[in-house]
Structure 1
Amino acid sequence: MILYPAIDLKDGKAVRLLRGDMDKATVFNEDPAAQALEFVAKGCEWLHLVDLNGAFAGQPVNGAAVEAILSQTGTPAQLGGGIRDMATIEAWLSKGLARVILGTVAVENPALVREAARAFPGQIAVGIDARDGKVATKGWAETTDVDATELARSYEDAGVAAIVYTDINRDGAMQGPNVEATAALARAVQIPVIASGGVSSIKDLRALRDCGAKLNGAISGRALYDGAIDLKEALKVLRT
């Protein structure tokens, strides 16, 4: 399993939200690139980036911060938030992103996801953010009637590289991930699944590693900033 340290970007700063609430943001680093370099120095092999403002705006907002991270680290990174057309996908991949995450358009424009996956093999992930099993879109501001597992299954033949599954109720709450729901989703599809939301301890990472479903990795943010998870130890745990 891969551990993806999360750098959530709001107004050019590295922050963490509580359950996706933009009014409940804690700033952890004024310089996101410096934060990324800190994670890389400790051995991480990937970075997980989110343009929070972009998710609400429907277009990239924190582009300068993302570009600084890419240029200064050289570490593979995936980015979600505000990526809703082919031109934006192409622009980000041309700037050195290893993978883009498509969330809102995965619900609203599945044809775009399929087109992008064909055009950029291995570089398109689907972000499925769920609240009580139902998919939320537009920066989690809107909850749909779409079932998370059914959405994942609908992309089984699309060639997407991964599904990033976030349990919104757990995100930033330091209450542990929804292991049962994440494992159930991973068993339902052949697409690699990355767990997100609530990963707050080494114990949580072990639970995901040993859940009985083959997960590609796990994303953690607040726990790394708060020191609840030691990154070097976590990487060692997930590599065994």
Structure 2
Amino acid sequence: MILYPAIDLKDGQAVRLLRGDMDKATVFNDAPADQARRFADAGAEWLHIVDLNGAFAGTPVNAGPVREILSTVDIPVQLGGGVRDMATIERWLEQGLARVILGTVAVENPTLVREAAKAFPGRVAVGLDARNGKVATKGWAEETDVDAIDLARELEDAGICAIIHTDIDRDGAMGGPNTEATAALARAVDVPVIASGGVSSLEDLRRLKETGVISGAISGRALYDGAIDLEEALEMLK
């Protein structure tokens, strides 16, 4: 199981939100590229980046910090937030991202997901951000009646390389991930599923790994707060 340290970008800074609330942001580093270097130096195999402003705006906002991160580290980076058309997908991938994560557009325009996955094999993932099993869009500001598992099943034959499942109510709350819901999603599809939201201890990571069906986990606040030691976690997950 791969551990993805998270760098959430708001106004050019590395922050963490509480349950996706932009008004409840804690700044952890004024220099996101420096944070990325720290994660890479500790042995991280991947980085997970979210353009929070972009998620609300519907277009990339923190492109500058992302480019700095890409020029600073050699490990693969995935990014979501504000990626809602083919031109943006192409631009990000050309600039060096290993893969882009499509969230809102997966609900509103699944045809684009299929087109992008076909055009860029292995480089397009889908982000399913859910509250009580229902997908939320536009930076989690809008809730839908779309069931996360139903949407995952609809898109699994599109050629996407991964699904990032975030339990919104767990995100940033340090209360543990929704292991059961994420495992249920992973068992429902053949696409690799990555857990996100609430991953706050080595025990959380151990439980996710022990499901045998979850391929990765994203953690942010716990790494910044020191609740999870990155090097220790990476060693445990080997």
Q: Give the TM-score band, short-chain normalised.
A: over 0.9
1-structure distance, mates of 2:116, 2:206: 34
Displacement of 1:32 after TM fit?
0.1
Q: Which residue of 1 aligns with 2:127?
A: 127
Q: In the alignment, what sits opposite 1:97? A: 97
Q: 1:87 — aligned with what?
A: 87
- 1:191 matched to which residue of 2? 191
Give 1:160-239 correspondences, 5 Å limit.
160-211=160-211, 213-239=212-238
Q: Flag structure 1 segments of 5+ consecutive residues without an equivalent.
A: none
1:47 matched to which residue of 2? 47
The structural deviation recorded for 1:67 is 0.3
Map of 1:111 onto structure 2: 111
CA distance in 1, matches of 2:237, 2:119: 32
- RMSD of aligned Cα (Å): 0.5
The one-letter code matched in structure 1 to 2:180 is E
Matched residue, 2:17: 17
Taking structure 1 as the reference length, the TM-score comes to: 0.99
Q: Deviations over 1:168-221 (max 9, x none)?
A: 00000000000000000000000000000000000000000002x421200000
2:97 match: secondary structure: coil
1:236, 1:196 → 2: CA distance?
A: 20
Runs (4 or more) in structure 1 with deviation over 2 Å come to none
Q: Which amino acid aligns with 1:126?
A: V
**What does residue 28 of structure 2 align with?**
28
Structure 2 residue aligned with 1:69: 69
* TM-score, with length taken from structure 2: 0.99
Instruction: For 1:226, give the aligned amino acid.
Output: D
**1:224 maps to amino acid:** L
Distance 1:202 1:31 in 2: 27
> Cα deviation per residue 1:34-56 (whole Å; 9 max; x = unaligned)?
00000000000100000000000
Letter in 2 for 1:221: G
Q: What is the letter of the counterpart of residue 54 of structure 1?
A: G
**Secondary structure, counterpart of 1:40 in structure 2:** helix
TM-fit CA distance, 1:80: 0.1
Which whole-Å CA distance do the structure 2 matches of 1:176 and 1:215 have between them?
15
SS of the aligned residue for 1:155 comes to helix
Using the alignment, how far apart are the partners of 1:233 and 1:180 within structure 2?
A: 24
